[in-house]
Amino acid sequence: MFMVCALKRHGERSRVKRVQVTFTGEQWSLIERFRGVMGNDDAEIVRNIVLAWLSEKSVVTSIAKMALKDGEDSEKPPPTPEGEMA
């Protein structure tokens, strides 16, 4: 089975990332079991499986925490060299 997934990027309605994915017959029959549970069309099911896996592995949480930390750091004024007054 060969398919193309279209992944929407947050904040950009018109931009999508298309990914070609190839599955064996056995893999596809396993994925088909999620129809109606994780989506209705092929791309939606595969996208949701990938996102669920990323979430389970804490990848999504780690990236969100890093983004929050980077945002907090950017709100602080840059450090001044020693001996100089701010």
Domain-wise residue ranges, the chain: 2-74
> How would residue 32 be classed by pLDDT, with cut points 50, 70 and 90?
very high
**Average model confidence (pLDDT) for the chain?**
79
What pLDDT is recorded for position 34?
97
**pTM summary value:** 0.58
Nearest residue to 46 via CA among 62, 58, 28, 26: 28
Query: pLDDT tens for residues 42-82?
Result: 999 999 999 999 888 888 788 888 888 888 766 555 555 56
The answer to whether the Cα torsion of 24, 26, 28, 31 is positive or negative is: negative
Distance, CA of 19 to CA of 37 (rounded, Å): 22
Cβ contact 13:19 at 8 Å: no
**Res 16: pLDDT:** 85
CA 86/CA 24 separation, integer angstroms: 63
